[in-house]
Amino acid sequence: MLTSELIGTHQTPFIGAHLMLIQNNKILLQKRKGGHLDGWYSPVSGHVDKGENIIEALVREAKEEANIILNPNELKINVIAHLLDVPYKGTIQNIINFFIFTDKYEGDIQNNEPDKTESLAFYDINNLPSQTFQMVKKAIKTFQNGENFFVMKNNQ
């Protein structure tokens, strides 16, 4: 049995799932609005809820945010990012993010969250908007380099 002292030393990171939907060398990004994400570009993504696995969370988030239907059997995790001591919603957190690159989906892409997302569009993967999150750029580079893991500290 673990003592409370030992449990206190283990990290309990947030877990995120990111859809890296690629078509014709372009990636689908949403321009966020409101709050600390205002004006920044990121892929369709979200947190893994209790009882969900990463693929289930991504399938849910894609449908909720962008009307995208994904087949879970066609998805695989391509890149994992361990973010250490990053600012998140007013605190400093550790986050594990999973990036799933695919070109397969069904449905007509639409912005289902206009209160949180200003726009949803495809951008040249080699010429991303300047306000694209550094973590997203790093995930793309990691994938393009045939690698599958990176660590970032303090969003660097």
- Domains annotated for the chain, with CATH where assigned, are 12-153 (3.90.79.10)
Give the tens place of pLDDT for each residue, 36-71.
Answer: 789 999 999 999 999 999 999 999 999 999 999 999
Q: Which residue has the tokens 């397969």?
A: 104
Say which residues have a Cβ less than 8 Å from residue 40's Cβ, sequence separation at least 6. 31, 32, 131, 132, 133
Distance CA 29, CA 89 (A): 21
Q: Report pTM.
A: 0.91
Give the tens place of pLDDT for each residue, 114-151.
Answer: 999 999 999 999 999 999 999 999 999 999 999 999 99
